[in-house]
Structure 1
Amino acid sequence: MSDVFRRSLGWLFVSLPVLFGCTEPFEPPVDERQTDILVVEGIVNASDSTALVKLSRARPLSQVDTSYAEPGAAVSIHSSAGDIFTLKEETVGNYVAYSLPIDKSVTYRLNITTANGTDYVSDTVSIKSTPPIDSLSFGVTNDNMGLSIRLTTHDDSGQSRYYAWSYTETYEYHAAFNSGYKFIDGAPIIRTPEERIDKCWRSISSTDVLIGTSQNLTKDIISEQELNIIPKYSPKISVRYSILIEQRVLSSQEFEYLSLLKKTTEGQGTLFDGSPGPVVGNIHQANDYKAVVLGYFGGSEIIKERHFLTFNELPEVLREPPSKDGCQLSFTCDSTQPRFTNFIPPCFFLEDLSSKSAIIGVFSGGTNPTSYTFTKAQCADCRLQGGITTPPDFW
């Protein structure tokens, strides 16, 4: 959820759109020193007996990076039973503890001492039980232009009521063309099967605040909660798609916090939206409760489920492969012919191709090629779309 937190910092520096000839944006008089704010994302996961706390510092939105990791802190979790669990900094700003003896009958509190000696403490939280996911459905949006992913869950005991979800999408996709050759010292060399760059896998984690509640319903049921919409022509559903969903139950306080966070991050599109406000959560500076701290510390079981969907399993109206618009094949000049100097030929000389091109195959010459077909690199190298050529273990 790090991206969500970064976007929630919009209350720090806000620029209003230009209206009726106004040429200068409005910037509220915020002291730059007030932007050095600790951001805390912490959770005790009772399902795998771990605790994870991410610490960073907020920056003004005028800077390229709106947050940066907070290293060197002393982070611990204290239980009402007297246990103290120390978290180790596994990577910069990420503090982790494993194999914790989580007891859902006691409460927990997060303690932080930053490298500069400032102490922070959370409110006490209890560990929430989470029911299983009942079902996940894949359907068509009302306009027939996208795949809608919806979730249903319930709790017969009526004790859950407040839910949150996150997910990681992993998908296989293919480049528009298969590059059969690579360049070595300016010469085309046939790729081995292991060197193929037309088939890739990419994973993307959700960043939106996904929450739901049954508080106003007679039964504790969340029915057909929409988690995501994938456009019809997206490469995500062009071959095979997987989604790993995480479901957890929230306290009413954390739900209220996430509701405000959702409103702040998603409701700043027009002048008629409400002014964003600080989303401070349940973390406090120990010696100054008025000091602003962003983030939340919570605890719950986390239910995980992975689902797969292939292109052939899509509803028929969505079975449209990604367009190859902008990806055309060209050919090189015949290498047995002399290079023309007096006019521009309807082909490209092999030696003039740059790294922005990819050779696809032989255009003429058979086993002794004299001319090749080629295209733009992004049309043949799937890695340029953010993926890797090695499938994940679960694939």
Structure 2
Amino acid sequence: MKNIRLALAGALLGATAMAAPAHADVKIGLLGGVSGPIAAMAPAMIDAAQLAVQQVNDQGGILKGEKLIPVVGDSACNPQNATDAATKAVNIEGVVAIVGPHCSGAVLAAANSVAVPAGVVIITPSGTSPEISKLDDKDLVFRTVPSDDFQGRALARTLLERGTNKVAVAYLNNDYGKGLAEAFKAEFEDKGGDIAGFAAHEEGKASYRSDLAELANGGADTLVIFDYGDGAGLTMLRQALENGFFENFVGGDGMKSDAPIAELGAENLTTFTASSPVGAKSDALDVFNEAFKEVGGDPDAIFVTTSYDAAFLAALAIEKAGGDKAKVAEALRSVSDGKGEVILPGEWKKAKELIAAGTDIDYKGAAGDHDFDELGDVPGVYALFKVQDGAFVVDTEMK
């Protein structure tokens, strides 16, 4: 009887072993601002990252044919939410890399509290604060979007070139708003511009009329708002328009949201512009635009190119690293360092074959080449957008 039981047990174990997959699927975290001040932007960004995942799975999967599984979490543009979402992704889901979070404060919190201690790479497509460059991150934090130090200075130069020499600046009192505002102020004043008012404000107030009135006392007819178009930035823009505090309005990338158009009406935003990173014109951008349109995406939505690139790069790095999370950071640099066979968006099968053959590859992304510097940063291209026919369209390129 004992021998029969052992034989049956052995047979069951053998059957189980044959039925089970040889390897587990590979998970990556997609941590975005699903709720909170950029809730209107986040869906398109996540969709773009999901497109990269879909292409990987449609073209043979990752590593030895495993599926790449996206684990979506809501960082809510909030440090605590980001920490919680990252903790679940890393410790419960076992992700090998994280795409996101979307907001700077969330990136800083998730990196410091979870990802860096766990040795997991973060690639944020939209965390733009200069503070991210200062992280003691063990070379684990990267971004496919430029630092706001670039954006703030480019916006300052662009406004001066357009003849706007005097402005007031309102900025959200967080890592994103402060970093962008300080970079803008430094460049604007250095180039001879006059900052007639410069003040931080808190999220979630019902009224910013007193803040706006004080800023307007400086005599500027242009208000620069560094905030989110789904949050306090929208409230501030609405109340400035209602009370006639300023004539012209300029936002950073956080204000390039559909929410102001939907809430305030395009007809009331004829003097409103917003800066935003844009993909440099390239074959890679054309390929992405076409692919994203085919799945119902809007290629002009903010941060979709950087979101796609972050996810595709994460997959390439995991493939190059053989699934070893300790080698993902080094692999990430090697697949986008300007050396090797060119890989365009969607060319997963080609990349996989080249990696398997030991051939160097160089990913040319929808948002740019992504030759990461020593801090994990990339340079960028920006444009100033205006509202036309109910949507944002490029008004002028920024340098």
When the two structures are superposed, what TM-score results if normalisation uses the length of structure 2?
Answer: 0.24
Greater strand percent: which structure? Answer: 1
Greater helix percent: which structure? Answer: 2
When the two structures are superposed, what TM-score results if normalisation uses the length of structure 1?
Answer: 0.24
